[in-house]
Each structure stands twice: as structure tokens, then as C-alpha cells.
Amino acid sequence: MTSLAPLPSEQETDGLTLTSAPPVVTVTDRWTRRRYVPVRVKFLLTLLASFGWAGFSMHLAEPWIRELGHIIGSVGAHLVIWGVAILPGFMNAFLVAGLLVDRRPARTWTGAFPGITILVAAYNEEESILGTIDSIARQDYPAPIQVLVINDGSSDCTMERLGTVSYPWLTVIDLKQNAGKANALNQGLKQAAHTLTITLDGDSYLYRGALRHLVGRFLSDPPNTAAVAGSVLLRNSRFNLVTKIQEWDYFHGIAAIKRLQSLFQGTLVAQGAFSLYRTDVLREVDGWPECVGEDIVLTWAILKRGHRVGYCEDAITFTNAPTSFRQFIRQRQRWSRGLIEAFKVHGALLFKPRMSTVFIWWNLLFPFMDVAYTFFFIPGIVLALFGVYWIAGPMTLLVLPMAFVVNYLMFYIQSHMFHAQGLRVRRNPLGFLVYALFYGLVLQPGCVLGYLSEMLNLRKHWGTK
């Protein structure tokens, strides 16, 4: 058995304070067991609530659609209002209802932990790779580990930095030619010696207990689980306004969506930054595909074979986000291209009879909503500044109560998870204000560019993660 050194009593991470308070273990009491509600009943209740909200929204929007129809026609008005208000409202209502009925089950595994292989694909990570390895060394995982760092033809001093550390569980694979993240991970997969494989980005820092929590969640989840996504939060959230805004996206939106998808047995992206997979399933699907969105396409391949993909909200790694709007747009373009790639290869998931299929359809609607927001709602805001309220006007204010409920609920849930892990949410009011009011003005046009790039088969740029 290999036992890694524990974390020091306190670590400072940009944007978060990490203290030495022991994690709080949630124990399901007898009252909760007596009140257990089957997940399919929760799914039905969530659907009914969201359809009810959508119906209410449609009733309120009738005058809005009628007035806009005089200008652009009835069909155009329905498409625009559905794209900027009705469908987003339905999704927000589904999110709220789902989070309200979600009760994260306690980890129940009490047996021995299995050995794990950790794959770290590194390209030009000279500033962070040693910190990533150090965070692995400080874990308290109670079983053998194998760490394979794959240097993907870095042009900086990544390889030289790797030469300064030595652990019995660490192996460095030096690829002389840069060939992309998927190839690097597949090269590592060939040497994976354990039944579970975990991926970790070369600029990520594991919080204490992350490996134990992630594997414990996998072992406690239903037997058809083939992958579990970890929780990715920002390490450089205090760098500038760009990272302060993204802190809320990771802390709120991304975490909440993964939590909801996991409840209904189908997290759609086990992100490469920090996720666990069954090694045999990885080999069954031929590893990571050579594409821009290798992690989403891989996850959909796993779902297509009938496996379940979960999420562990308290298995935390901190990673670096893009620090400029240009890098941020390139990242989200890549994510959007990955979504289109996933539909090209695994579009049949739209017709797979399982609860998670609703999220596949949800993703199918994203391009339509992003186009409606970019080409109609944003110009509508500009028109409203001049007193023309065709699209953005008094009716638009009706989305604010639901937006408030969504953000408050996500903050409440995430804050409780943070406190249980000995973490403290630091103040970031400016970042939240910009995130809540203006994030979509940058995000959704960037997503549209990503969709168009993939549909037009333009040259692919991996850019930032």
C-alpha cells in the first residue's frame, strides 16, 4: 500500500482560503432513508415544474410575441422569443427544481481502495507542472498510485523541470513532437497499470482528499458507473476581471449543471482537467478521439454504451483560467466545436431512452438559443437604449426573479459544500455583477463562432483548455 504525504495545515489559493478544518462527512440518517424519493419520481417532478413555468411564461409572453410579430412576422417573433426567453426559462426552472430535489448520497464504500493511474498531459507547463505533481504527492490516497506525466513536445522548460523531481510512483513520457492532448493521453493509457484511470491537467492543483473523494464516489455509485467527473474551480481567480468573472461560472453554472446531470444519471462531460474513468472502458472506446473536444466526445461514447457518468462535487482541483477575453473566447469556441463534434459522432444519443437524454436535447438547443441571443437579443438591448423596446423591454425584466432564484440556490449549495471542505468563499461582488449582467454578451457570440467554425470545417485551434 502506498500512502502519500498529507497536505500542510494551510494552503493559499488565489481567490479561496484553504484551512485545516477536517471535511464534514454527511451521514444519511434514518429519517432521510424513510423519506427516500426514487430518482425517476424526482425526474418527473422536475419536468412537471419546468413545463409549468414554461407554460406560465408563454402566457405572459403572448402580447410581446404579438407586438413583435407586427414587425418581423408571427413565425419570426415566436422563434426569437422562444430563443431568448421561453427555452432559457424552461431550463432555469428545470435547474431550480432539480437542485431542490437533489440529495447527494453519502459515500458508503468501506472496503479497500483500488490502485489508480493518473495521466497528466503537459504542454508548455513549466510554471505549474511541479505544483501539480506536488499536489499529488500531498494526497492521502490509501492504495498504490501510478503517475504518468506525458510531455507533449513542449517548447519551453517543462521537461527540464520534470527532471528535477523523482518519486517511485512517477514516470515521465517524453514525446518529442507535439501531437495534441488526445494523443498524449492515449500514449499514457497504453502504460496504465490499474483498473481506474484519472486525468489531471498540467496546471491543476489537487485539494486535500480529492483522490480519496473521487474514487470513493465511484465505488459508492451504481455499478454501471464508468466515469466520474471531479470538481474544477479556479486557481487564478484574483488575477484580473476576466478571471473574477469566470470564477462564478465555474463555482455556479458549471458545477450546478454537472450536479443536476449526475442526479439524473448522465453527466455529459467528464472533463479532462480532473475526471476518473474505468480503464477497461477507456480501452473499449479506443481512448480519447483526435478532435478539439476530446473529453465531451469520449464521455458521449461512454454514455452511448449504456454506462453511467457521475459527478463528485467535493473532489476538488484548482486550475488556471484564461486571463484575457481573447483566450477566453478561444476556449469557449473550442468547447462549442466539441459539442458539434459530439453530435456528429454520437447523435444517436438523442433517441436513447434514459433520463439523461433530456440533457442531450438541451445541448441540441444551445446553438439555436446562442444564435437568437447574439443576433436578436443583443441588438434588442442596443435598440432599447434608444427607446425601441421590440425585443428587450419591460417584459425582459420577468426573467430577473428566476435568475435571482437560480443564482441564490447555486450559491447556497456550493457554499455549504465549501464549508464542509474547510474552504471559504471570498468576496467577489464586481465579478458576480459582471457575470450576472454581461457575461452572455461575450460568451454566447463566442459560442456561435465555435459552432460555425465546426460546421464550416475550418482549421482547428486547440488554444487554451
> C-alpha 212: how far from its chain's center?
20
Cell numbers for 398:
420577468
Per-residue pLDDT of 253-267, as tens digits, reads 899 999 999 999 889
Give me the mean pLDDT over the 373-386 stretch: 91
Do 279 and 194 form a contact (C-beta atoms < 8 A)? yes
Instruction: With a cut of 70, say whether residue 464 has pLDDT above it.
Output: no
- Helix 255-263 with 399-420: angle, nearest 10 deg: 80
Q: How many CB atoms lie within 10 A of CB 443?
A: 21
Beta strands in 141-287 (DSSP E): 145-152, 170-175, 196-201, 205-206, 225-234, 274-278
Give the residue with greater pLDDT, 36 vs 429: 429
Helix (H, G, I), strand (E, B), or coil: what is residue 196? strand
Q: Tell me the domain boundaries of the chain.
A: 11-17+107-327
pLDDT-derived band at 20 (thresholds 50, 70, 90) equals very low
Task: Provide long-range contacts, Cβ within 8 A and 24+ apart, for 182-185.
Answer: 182/287, 182/288, 182/289, 182/290, 182/291, 182/294, 183/152, 183/290, 184/121, 184/122, 184/123, 184/150, 184/152, 185/119, 185/121, 185/150, 185/272, 185/287, 185/288, 185/294
Instruction: State the DSSP string of 230-260.
Output: EEEEESBTTSSHHHHHHHHIIIIIIHHHHHH
Q: Rounded distance, CA 16 to CA 234, Å?
A: 9
pLDDT-derived band at 395 (thresholds 50, 70, 90) equals low
Task: Look up the CATH architecture of domain 11-17+107-327.
Answer: Alpha-Beta Complex (3.90)
Q: Rounded distance, CA 457 to CA 455, Å?
A: 5
* 301 conformational bin, left if phi > 0, alpha if psi -120 to 50, beta if neither: alpha
- Please give the C-alpha separations between residue 286 and each of 134, 186, 279, in angstroms, as whole numbers: 30, 9, 11
Instruction: With a cut of 60, say whether residue 13 has pLDDT above it.
Output: no
Q: Which range, 50-59, 277-286, 432-441, is most confident?
A: 277-286
Give me the mean pLDDT over the 163-187 stretch: 95
Give me the mean pLDDT over the 398-408 stretch: 76
- When the pLDDT of each residue in the chain is averaged and rounded to a whole number, the result is 88
Of 17, 13, 4, which is closest to residue 319 (Cα–Cα)?
13
pLDDT-derived band at 249 (thresholds 50, 70, 90) equals very high
Instruction: With a cut of 90, say whether residue 384 has pLDDT above it.
Output: no
Instruction: With a cut of 60, say whether residue 27 has pLDDT above it.
Output: no
Of 157, 375, 189, which is closest to residue 285 (Cα–Cα)?
189
Give me the mean pLDDT over the 318-339 stretch: 93
- Please give the C-alpha separations between residue 310 and each of 105, 221, 264, 271, 345, in angstroms, as whole numbers: 12, 8, 9, 12, 22
Q: Rounded distance, CA 3 to CA 278, Å?
A: 22
Instruction: With a cut of 80, say whether residue 410 has pLDDT above it.
Output: yes
Q: What pLDDT does 269 receive?
A: 95
Of 459, 440, 35, which is closest to residue 245 (Cα–Cα)?
440
Strands across the sheet containing 145-152: 170-175, 145-152, 116-122, 196-201, 274-278, 225-234, 308-319, 205-206
Q: Rounded distance, CA 38 to CA 265, Å?
A: 12
Instruction: With a cut of 70, say whether residue 168 has pLDDT above it.
Output: yes
Of 200, 172, 186, 184, which is closest to residue 116 (Cα–Cα)?
200
pLDDT-derived band at 408 (thresholds 50, 70, 90) equals confident
Per-residue pLDDT of 141-159, as tens digits, reads 999 999 999 999 999 999 9
Per-residue pLDDT of 202-242, as tens digits, reads 999 999 999 999 999 999 999 999 999 999 999 898 899 99
Give me the mean pLDDT over the 456-464 stretch: 65
Q: What pLDDT does 458 receive?
A: 78
pTM score, whole prediction: 0.88
423-425 vs 16-18, strand pairing mode: antiparallel
Give me the mean pLDDT over the 441-453 stretch: 92
Q: What pLDDT does 16 receive?
A: 42
Give the residue with greater pLDDT, 427 vs 398: 427
Q: What pLDDT does 462 receive?
A: 52
Give the residue with greater pLDDT, 23 vs 134: 134
pLDDT-derived band at 397 (thresholds 50, 70, 90) equals low
pLDDT-derived band at 394 (thresholds 50, 70, 90) equals low
Q: Rounded distance, CA 227 to CA 267, Å?
A: 9
The angle formed by the CA atoms of residues 58, 82 and 334, to the nearest 5 degrees, is 145
Instruction: With a cut of 80, say whether residue 332 has pLDDT above it.
Output: yes
Instruction: State the DSSP string of 84-149.
Output: IIIHHHHHHHHHHHHHHH--PPPP---SPPPPEEEEEEESS-TTTHHHHHHHHHT----S-EEEEE
- Please give the C-alpha separations between residue 465 and each of 33, 42, 321, 322, 329, in angstroms, as whole numbers: 41, 34, 8, 8, 11
Helix (H, G, I), strand (E, B), or coil: what is residue 18? strand
pLDDT-derived band at 6 (thresholds 50, 70, 90) equals very low
Do 231 and 418 form a contact (C-beta atoms < 8 A)? no
Per-residue pLDDT of 88-98, as tens digits, reads 989 999 999 99
Give me the mean pLDDT over the 280-292 stretch: 96
Q: Cα-flanking dihedrals φ and ψ of residue 146, to 5°?
A: -130, 120
Q: What pLDDT does 25 receive?
A: 41
Give the residue with greater pLDDT, 85 vs 191: 191
Of the listed ranges 12-21, 72-81, 173-182, 320-329, the one predicted with least confidence: 12-21
Give the residue with greater pLDDT, 149 vs 461: 149
